[in-house]
């Protein structure tokens, strides 16, 4: 594992800068990315500022561009706290914001950026930011240094790490700094872990509905299709009702769960089974029938809020609102799932949108997927057998006329491509912004025709 004490020491220094601004009555703006990790990170910092009675504003963004930075500069905040936004943009941050910023991040960046006094990045301390430490884990160390009572929020980085697909240990477990925070949450009685099927809605949905709601992995023919799931399970002899109510996954016997695995084998193969069985993390302070009780499900709700333009609901959930925010977030989640199922079906069936290269797959989602939803869709596509053997690059034309790329390593890919570095190099060739982790990343460029982008990616991968 990396140097945890050095990481915590740097987190304390970042915390000191935040507290100094708060005590000086400075204007503070928290900026977070729209995914679950960014929303969780920003919320942890917001909670810490509440604890010391410091006013702040919070804003969730899909991307940090020079245009956005130009606008921020004119808003004249005294301190900008960037959460999972701005990695790889050191010169731009300095040019637009001077020294009025701190950055909490876990993406791969240059050595110069890692060593910067205003940046807390997992890679600087020997942690793989794609596996060992999400941004919320880093924000947790910062917020705990601001106010020790924030240890009661150790459950939130667990949610964020799972949503960020960092459950890369044995049987989908958390590792590295994420595991350190998990252990703190377990000791505090906030989280429990056990081995089970990883269906969405294990404790809250009828078994066939839970199977239909599962999108990681995406099960072609079943995901999004409750009738097909019902028919497959009943044909195999699974009793879906107990008296007058539908049974949930948590009510099934071990033998029944094993039978479900056998049912799914023809759909997903052996590799897919690894995605369906593993550690589940239960948030013990959430109501038993709440969609937030399963930590992975909580992360999905946050992603839905961010991707569907309702990030304020996600922040509300992270800060403890179980009234309005939860009611509205459940509606957003239903729409999010419908959108995903519709788009994934269209993209997998429309061969005119798919460019199959020897080294990768490029899928053009213009007119189907907006920039905010791109990351969620690319993650699902990367686990579908049709695309899982290569890196996948999903693109869409933005409202401003630019190009947004979200890329993932295929779930069954055995090569050595580093997605984050690949996108950084591709973006640099056309004066864009790109980066990420080994297995996932994103980029924003001026618009390129698909054939031109294929040539650029091929050039980078070939080198």
Residue-wise pLDDT tens digits, 111-137: 999 999 999 999 999 999 999 999 999
Q: Stretch 362-366: mean pLDDT, rounded?
A: 97
Res 273: pLDDT: 73
Res 274: pLDDT: 75
Tens of pLDDT, residues 288-331? 889 999 999 999 999 999 999 999 999 999 999 999 999 999 99
- pLDDT higher than threshold 90 for residue 34: yes
Alpha-carbon span 406 to 392, nearest angstrom: 8
Mean predicted lDDT score pLDDT of the chain? 94
Res 276: pLDDT: 84
Res 200: pLDDT: 87
Res 270: pLDDT: 63
- The pLDDT-based confidence of 177 (bands split at 50, 70, 90) is very high
Q: Stretch 145-153: mean pLDDT, rounded?
A: 94
Tens of pLDDT, residues 21-31? 999 999 999 99
Alpha-carbon dihedral 264, 439, 138, 171, rounded to 10 degrees = 30
Residue 293 CA: distances (Å) to CA of 175, 265, 279, 286, 289 = 21, 28, 14, 5, 7
The CATH number assigned to the domain with range 4-150 reads: 3.90.1640.30
Q: With contact defined as beta carbons under 8 Å apart, do 395 and 403 qualify?
A: yes
Q: Stretch 267-279: mean pLDDT, rounded?
A: 78
The CATH number assigned to the domain with range 350-462 reads: 3.10.310.40
Tens of pLDDT, residues 227-261? 999 999 999 999 999 988 999 998 999 999 999 99
Alpha-carbon span 148 to 73, nearest angstrom: 32
Q: Where are the domains of the chain?
A: 4-150, 196-343, 350-462
Q: With contact defined as beta carbons under 8 Å apart, do 260 and 233 qualify?
A: yes
Res 179: pLDDT: 98
Res 272: pLDDT: 66
- pLDDT higher than threshold 70 for residue 360: yes
Write the CB contacts of 24 (distance below 8 Å, at least 6 apart in sequence).
78
Q: Which residues partner with 311 through β-bridges? A: none
In eight-state DSSP terms, residue 279 is E
């Amino acid at each position: 594992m990396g140097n945890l004490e050095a990481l915590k020491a740097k987190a304390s220094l970042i915390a000191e800068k935040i507290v100094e601004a708060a005590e000086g009555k400075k204007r503070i703006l928290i900026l977070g990315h729209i995914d679950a990790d960014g929303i969780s990170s920003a919320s942890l910092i917001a909670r810490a500022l509440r604890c010391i009675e410091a006013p702040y504003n919070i804003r969730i963004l899909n991307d940090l561009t020079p245009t956005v930075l130009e606008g921020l500069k004119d808003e004249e905040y005294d301190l900008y706290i960037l959460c999972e936004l701005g990695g790889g943009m050191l010169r731009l941050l300095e040019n637009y914001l001077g020294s009025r910023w701190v950055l909490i991040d876990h993406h791969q960046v240059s050595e110069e950026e890692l060593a910067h006094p205003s940046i807390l990045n997992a890679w600087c301390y020997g942690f793989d930011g794609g596996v060992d430490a999400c941004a919320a884990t880093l924000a947790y160390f910062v917020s705990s240094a601001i106010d020790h009572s924030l240890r009661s929020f150790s459950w939130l980085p667990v949610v964020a790490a799972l949503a960020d697909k960092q459950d890369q240990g044995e049987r989908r477990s958390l590792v590295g700094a994420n595991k350190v925070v998990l252990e703190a949450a377990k000791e505090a009685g906030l989280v429990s872990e056990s081995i089970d099927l990883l269906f969405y809605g294990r404790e809250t949905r009828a078994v066939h509905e839970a199977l239909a709601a599962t999108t990681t992995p995406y099960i072609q023919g079943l995901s999004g299709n409750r009738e097909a799931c019902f028919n497959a399970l009943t044909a195999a002899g699974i009793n879906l009702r107990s008296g007058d109510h539908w049974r949930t996954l948590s009510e099934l016997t071990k033998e029944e769960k094993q039978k479900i695995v056998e049912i799914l084998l023809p759909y997903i193969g052996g590799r897919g089974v690894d995605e369906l069985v593993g550690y589940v993390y239960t948030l013990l302070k959430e109501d038993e029938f709440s969609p937030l009780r399963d930590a992975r499900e909580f992360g999905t709700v946050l992603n839905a809020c961010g991707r569907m333009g309702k990030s304020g609901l996600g922040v509300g959930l992270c800060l403890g609102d179980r009234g309005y925010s939860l009611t509205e977030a459940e509606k957003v989640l239903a729409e999010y799932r419908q959108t995903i199922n519709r788009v994934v079906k269209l993209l997998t069936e429309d061969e005119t949108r798919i460019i199959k290269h020897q080294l990768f797959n490029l899928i053009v989602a213009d007119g189907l997927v907006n920039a905010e939803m791109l990351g969620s869709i690319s993650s699902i596509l990367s686990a579908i057998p049709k695309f899982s053997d290569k890196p996948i690059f999903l693109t869409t034309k933005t409202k401003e006329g630019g190009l947004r790329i979200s890329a993932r390593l295929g779930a069954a890919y055995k090569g050595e491509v580093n997605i984050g570095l690949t996108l950084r190099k591709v973006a640099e060739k056309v004066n864009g912004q790109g980066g990420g982790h080994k297995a996932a990343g994103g980029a924003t460029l001026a618009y390129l025709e698909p054939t031109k982008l294929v040539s650029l990616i091929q050039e980078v991968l070939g080198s």
